[in-house]
Every structure is written in structure tokens, then in C-alpha cells.
Amino acid sequence: MKALVTGADGFIGSHLVEKLLSSGKDVKAFCLYNSLGSWGWLDSLPETSKEAIEVILGDIRDPICVREAMRGCDQVFHLAALIAIPYSYVAPASYIDTNIHGTLNVVQAARDLGVTNLVHTSTSETYGTAQFVPITEDHPLVGQSPYAASKIGADQIALSYWRSFETPVTVLRPFNTYGPRQSARAVIPTIITQIAAGHRKIKLGALSPTRDFNHVSDTCAAFQALANCNSALGQIVNAASNFEISIGDTASLIAKAMNVELDIITDENRLRPEGSEVNRLFGDNSLLRQLTNWQPRYGGLDGFERGITETAEWFSNPANLALYRPNSYSI
């Protein structure tokens, strides 16, 4: 089978491409066009892997690009999106164009071309602050940022094509994914890179919110499981570890893993507006487990500590750390 991964140049997308290749899939990688011809994180893959994939540079906002990329593919994993919450305060219209219109382009092409299975990527941010825990797929949707609102819209566009045209869509809703290659805009990489750069006074935003962190390999396994699960069609499915931890306690675990003592400084620039902060995320993964044989390999506190240690080792490699700017905060 031939699979297309949109957003293949990104953090999760590049890991998913690797997982699909290792499972024997013929993979097309749809990456954002740029004048440098960069494949994003795919450029860091081994040469044998890069030779095995067909890379298409384009723009998810362009329906012609999307349709041509999807032609001849049986499965589609739609990950292309703008995801930085702080930047959605600055440029909200770009999130509508990329996340909602981009998703419309994908599902329309999937319908027209007769794709066998399409997994669309959602986010736990669509739930907002937990109104009950663990958060099931029936939890109300609350857009506490323009980013979250755009993903709610994208999810509903995708599901509408299942309801209207029986386009074979499943919505995967991952909770907070972490691991090698993640942007330093995310909290775990920003802590690790500051420590790896020699800082012992770490700048962070709010420390009290809790998150349900998921190692990227578990998230990719969820994509693969749902792509082969016809009983999940038309459904929203959480990928969560069933474990929550505060940002402050996460920083302490990272410090322990990296054998340092930290002082944490609150950086006002890293705080969300009060009504926009999602204060608690703690997901229920029972539906995913019922539908497939998926289990988080990095679940629970022990799994999270193991994942943190492995992630810190990757970021601490001087060649990898050189790709980041620990001394500055970029939204």
C-alpha cells in the first residue's frame, strides 16, 4: 500500500514516515515548499530512508498541490498544520487558512480519488481545560485559543465528509506528544535545551497546569493502528497515556534525569492570556485500546521518566542541540 503523510517535514510527521517505512509501506512525504528545497526533519533521516521516500514540496492550502500529492495513495495521514499556540494570537487568519482550508483540501481530494483510509490529526487542546477527568471523546469542545478553535473547525470539516459522503475518515486526537526533534516552543524541549546549554536558571511560563504527555513513538503507533481499523471510521479517538503531571513536576523530572539542580524563573512572555490557558489535560485512551491492540509503551510515571531520559539524551547531543536556540524564546 502507498501512504501519503502531510506535514512529513515536522516533528511527528517525520517520525511517522520512519515508522511507516519500517513497516514496509511505500511512502509519499508532503512537505511545505521552500526556496531551499529543505525537507525539514526528513533531512536528518539516514540516506537509505531518504532514498526510499517520494518527497513532494507543496502547500496544504493549495488544492491542486494536495490532489496531485494524494494521487495513487491508498492511505493518507493528515498532519500538516500550524500548531504554535502563541503565534495563533498574532496571526489567527493563517491558522484558519492552513488548518481548516487545508483540511478541506485533503478530505475533498480523498473523496474524489477514492482513498481507502484517511487519518486526520486533531489535538487535546480542542477540549480546553478539563471539565471532568479522565477526558473521554465525549468531553465538550472549548476553543481557548485561535489554534484550538481552528482545529475544532478542521475536525468537524473532516467528520462532515464521513457523514455526507462516507469518505473514510478517522480523527486521531493526540494528547501532548514529546520526543526527539520537537520544536523548542514546546515545554519539554525548552527545559531540556536550556539545561543542555548550561543554564541552571530556567525560564518557563505557568507551572501549575497539568498535561498528559505521550512519547512520539506511541503517537505514531496510534496513527498506524487506526489506519488499519475500519471500525474506527467516522469516530474521534484519543491517544493518551492515562497519566497527568504538572509542568513544574515535569521540570523536576527533567532536572533529575539530567543530574542538575534548577531555579525556575517565570517569564511573562511565556504566559498565555488568563482565559486561554488550558489548566488541566488528562486523557482517557480506552476507546483506542478497545478498537485496536494499541498500548502506550511509555505510559505511567515509569514510562514518562524513561521517555524523558531518552529525549534528554537526544537533545544533549551537541549536533542536535546546535539546531536550537536555547538563549531565546520564539513563538
Give the pLDDT mean for 27-50: 97
Distance separating alpha carbons of residues 69 and 109, to the nearest angstrom: 10
What region does 147 belong to: left with phi over 0, alpha with psi -120 to 50, or beta? alpha
**Average predicted confidence (pLDDT) for the chain:** 97
Q: Is the pLDDT of residue 281 over 90?
A: yes
* Model confidence band, residue 83 (pLDDT cutoffs 50, 70, 90): very high
Averaged pLDDT, 302-327: 97
Architecture of the domain whose range is 2-178+213-239: 3-Layer(aba) Sandwich (3.40)
The band of 331, judged by pLDDT with boundaries at 50, 70 and 90, is confident
- As a whole number of angstroms, the distance between CA 325 and CA 197 comes to 9
How far apart are the C-alpha atoms of 144 and 273, rounded to whole Å?
10
Q: What is the mean pLDDT of residues 168-188?
A: 97
Please compute the mean of the pLDDT values over residues 259-280 and round it to a whole number. Answer: 96
What are the cell numbers at 197? 546549554
pLDDT at 303: 97
Q: Would you tell me the crossing angle of helices 187-196 and 300-316 to the nearest 10 degrees?
A: 50
Q: Buried (b) or exposed (e) across 39-67, using 16+ Cβ within 10 A?
A: bbbbeebeeebbeebebbbbbbbebebbb
Task: Extract the C-alpha cell encoding 276.
Answer: 486561554
Cell of residue 114, nine digits: 477514492
pLDDT at 330: 85
Eight-state DSSP code of residue 44: G
CA distance 123 to 186: 14
Q: How many helices (H) and strands (E) does the chain have?
A: 13, 13
Cα–Cα distance measured from residue 121 to residue 236, given in angstroms and rounded to the nearest whole number: 10
The answer to whether the CB of 155 falls within 8 A of the CB of 126 is yes
Domain ranges in the chain are: 2-178+213-239
